[in-house]
Chain A
Amino acid sequence: MSTSVSRRRFLKGASLAGASLALAACAVPGTTPAAEPGADPIHLVLWGWWEPRMAIYDNVAQEWAEQRDNYTIEVLSVSGRLEKIYSAIEAGTHPNLFKMGEEFFPMRREGLLLEFPEEIFTDAWYETTYPSVNWDVYGRYVIPTGISSTLLVYNRAMFEEAGLDPDTPPATWEDFLVAAQATTQSDASGITRCGIVPADEWLGYNQVLQLGGNIVDTSGDSIKANFTSEEAIAGYQTVADWNLKHGVWDPDFPWNGEAVGTRLACMTEEQAWIVGEFRASFPDVYPDLGFAPPPTPTGNPEPVHGYKSTVLSVSAFKGDTETYDAVYDFLKYLYVDAGKDAYWNLAELISIAPARADLLDDPRLLSDPGLAMAAQMQATEHDPVEPPGDMNGAIGDAFYRIFREGSSVEAAMEILNTDVQAIFDRGLGTEMQ
């Protein structure tokens, strides 16, 4: 049986449907519904990014919710996290919980985060569970998943082929250069295999740190660019010389992970996350790779082997006080009760050494040569440096001037120092202090 619908009725229906859809679209997904005082259940929302990681958080979260009668939790993986979380905070529609990145520092400074209660997270628990974490930096606002130390990654097969002992990786800069020269291959078109390809991001920063310097000076009241310091110029000169003087690196090669992963390079220095990248994306090369502490000028571990950063877990936002008990209960479950398996899963996924002490001698960690090496190195943690994004671009421009315009390192560093100081003068980079 066919039903005829008049034009007017159709128009009316379509209009109502349109209006309903428009109103439905107004609802922000994943925001906390307004809870009546004392009303149950309480619904929490956790935002983060990268679906495989958020799936691990979701497992823990749903376990937590299943064990409770009146709490539910929604775990969402959001793309463009910074734009979304900043907008949500402005609009007051932010989630209860957030997987933190470098935005932790300004959020903490602006007083947006909820402090973890002392009665749940006791000082004794902090000291025994996370002995290598500098709590002055993080306070009671977040707990690190792990520490991403910089490693020397080298191809053991290429070492053997070049007559080098793969069990004795280079420890000094001098040995490093010798190994790089021995493993570099060239033909008429130029270098066909680099002895070393440094990390794209923060190019040269490891060398400056290994010399005991830094690219910023945080000793005064305000942060200062420090690219013209003796150590910075010497560190950047070392990296430039790999190309200009020694011919062991071609800056036109692919990024360091791809170069080593496709056997276009023998060695690189990179943070521990690269171990997982090799394991997942370059499984045929992965068994050939060896991991060691990055070489230093003297071979000694002091002052540091390189740049280390800390991967943070979940923080809670201040907001609806009715949900605080549920938030604390979830944080306790996540950080204390859920056990170390969830931690291990997260650390293994992002390929870092876990910060949690009871995982550092875990057989799963020790059976992974890259992560085992990263775990050894996290004791000399360097305070976090979270410079503004513009700064990395400015360093890239400095190397453009050196490699493509023939500028001296000193001259390029002068310009770089001015550019970065201008960034600081705009009020950026305060997270670094």
Chain B
Amino acid sequence: MSVQQGAAAPGMSGLRRTQIRFIVTVLVPTMAFFCVYRFFPVGYAFFISLHDKKLLRAENVYVGFENYARIAADPIFRLSIGNAFYYAVGATICGVIVSLWLTLLLNPIRRGSLMLRLFYFLPQMTNGIAVLLMWSWLLRPRFGLINQLLQQAGYQERVYFLGDPVLAMPTLIMMSVWGGLGFTMMILLAGLRGIPLEFYEAARIDGGNWWKVARFITVPLMKPVLTFVTITGIIGGFNVFGVIYVLTRGGPLNSTMTISYYIYRTGFADRFIGLASAMAFVMFIIIIVLTVVQLRITRENWEF
């Protein structure tokens, strides 16, 4: 309709005029907003990363790529990248496997399914800090509920879930899996409901049991959803900060030091904002690479 109206206007098509108005009234303010609050800070952060910049200090000495050389030689920075990948991959893979398993179990349930979904979604709706504090109490070595239960079950050694360099990261991963279960299940459930029922009917006629249906129909046809959940989960997990800040502060012995927390500590606690900006740029490049991988994988067209 707008095309016809526009065609009547001399010199400039109505469609183009509408487009220009749209650009001026919607896209320009949005782009301006993004330029000011997204692109400029990214550019400025790169600028700062080339300087020996310390917060509160007036001098701002250009040092080229010296900050990048410093972080390349910093063993804690390298460790923090490894830890971030460990957390991201561990939390995502475990989260997707557990969520998928539970989704497949819960999907056939019709009566009370809403309550069950709500139950799994509860951690997502609860205040994150409160949840983390609750976990810290549950996991205490001396009076924590989980250690008490382990002792009653006959395991007498105290388990230092958050105080042992080997156990601390798996414990954080376990907490992440628990916390993100409901959200991942919702996405997987939506994907599951999108699979045409004809496939299941055909499988049933052919005598396929639950396991075979899950293995040969459900999981392969959910590959796009699983890929999306996995890649976005890894990118999100790579940025992990809150759980580290509240529970471990990167310890013990830097075993949970992740790149986000290390950047925060370097930039705001130690005030070396130039160095922290260089770290942030390295992190930015890693996330760009992950995002490109995600786009390449998910750009395939899937048709049932």
Residues of A within 8 A of B (CB): 8, 11-12, 15-16, 18-19, 22, 26, 82-83, 86, 89-90, 103, 106-107, 110-112, 189-190, 250, 252-254, 264, 388-390, 393, 396-397, 400, 404, 426-428
Contact = CB atoms under 8 A, between A and B. Distances in A.
Given A11-B22, A15-B29, A396 B271 contact: no
Interface stretch (B92-100, B228-236, B262-270): B262-270
Given A250-B142, A390-B265, A396-B251, A426 B270 contact: yes
A340 B265 CA distance: 38
B157 to A, nearest CB: 12
B252 A397 contact: yes
A389 B265 contact: yes
Contacts of B265: 389-390
Contacts of B141: 252
A110 B26 CA distance: 44
21 contacts: A11-B25, A15-B25, A15-B29, A18-B30, A19-B29, A22-B29, A82-B269, A89-B55, A90-B55, A103-B56, A110-B57, A264-B143, A388-B270, A390-B265, A393-B250, A396-B251, A396-B252, A404-B160, A426-B270, A427-B54, A427-B272
Given A16-B25, A19-B29, A106-B56, 15 more contacts: A8-B21, A11-B25, A18-B26, A19-B25, A82-B269, A83-B268, A86-B55, A86-B56, A110-B56, A190-B142, A253-B143, A254-B142, A254-B143, A397-B251, A400-B253
A397 B33 CA distance: 45
B56 A189 contact: no
B163 interface: yes
User: Lowest 8 A-B CB distances belong to which pairs?
Assistant: A15-B25, A252-B142, A19-B29, A252-B141, A86-B55, A389-B269, A110-B56, A22-B33
Dominant SS among interface residues on chain B: loop
A288 B207 CA distance: 74
Interface in B22-37: 22, 25-26, 29-30, 32-33, 36
B36 A26 contact: yes
Contacts of B57: 110
A83 B301 CA distance: 44
A426 B269 CA distance: 13
A400 B163 contact: yes
Contacts of A107: 56
Given A11-B22, A396-B251, A397-B253, A252 B140 contact: yes
B275 to A, nearest CB: 9
B235 to A, nearest CB: 23
Interface string B240-281: 000000000111110000000000010011111100000000
A89 B56 contact: yes
Interface in B1-50: 18, 21-22, 25-26, 29-30, 32-33, 36
Contacts of A90: 55
Contacts, number: 81
B117 interface: no
B202 interface: no
Contacts of A110: 56-58
B151 interface: yes
A404 B157 CA distance: 13
Contacts of B30: 18, 22
Contacts of B250: 393
Contacts of B164: 404
Interface string B283-296: 00000000000000
A111 B56 CA distance: 9
B207 to A, nearest CB: 55
Nearest to B59: A110
Given A26-B36, A252-B142, A393 B56 contact: no
A205 to B, nearest CB: 18
Interface in B92-135: none
B79 to A, nearest CB: 14
A12 B25 contact: yes
Contact of B270 (A8, A15, A390, A396): A390
B39 to A, nearest CB: 15
Nearest to B165: A400
Contacts of B272: 426-427
B203 to A, nearest CB: 47
Given A106-B56, A396-B252, A253 B142 contact: yes
A318 to B, nearest CB: 11
Nearest to A429: B270
A137 B57 CA distance: 20
A144 to B, nearest CB: 21
A107 B55 CA distance: 10
Nearest to B147: A252
A16 B249 CA distance: 45
Contacts of A190: 142
A187 B170 CA distance: 32
A11 B57 CA distance: 47
Contacts of B270: 388-390, 426, 428
Contacts of A404: 160, 163-164
A430 B217 CA distance: 64
A195 to B, nearest CB: 15
A111 to B, nearest CB: 8
Contacts of B21: 8, 12
Contacts of A389: 265, 269-270
A393 B249 contact: yes
A16 B30 CA distance: 11
Nearest to A20: B29
A103 B58 CA distance: 16
Contacts of A11: 22, 25-26
A393 B251 contact: yes
B78 to A, nearest CB: 16
Contact of B268 (A82, A250, A426): A82
Interface in B137-162: 140-143, 151, 158, 160
Contacts of B273: 86
B269 A388 contact: yes
Given A112-B56, A400-B163, A189 B271 contact: no
Contacts of B26: 11, 15, 18
A428 B271 CA distance: 9
Contacts of A189: 151
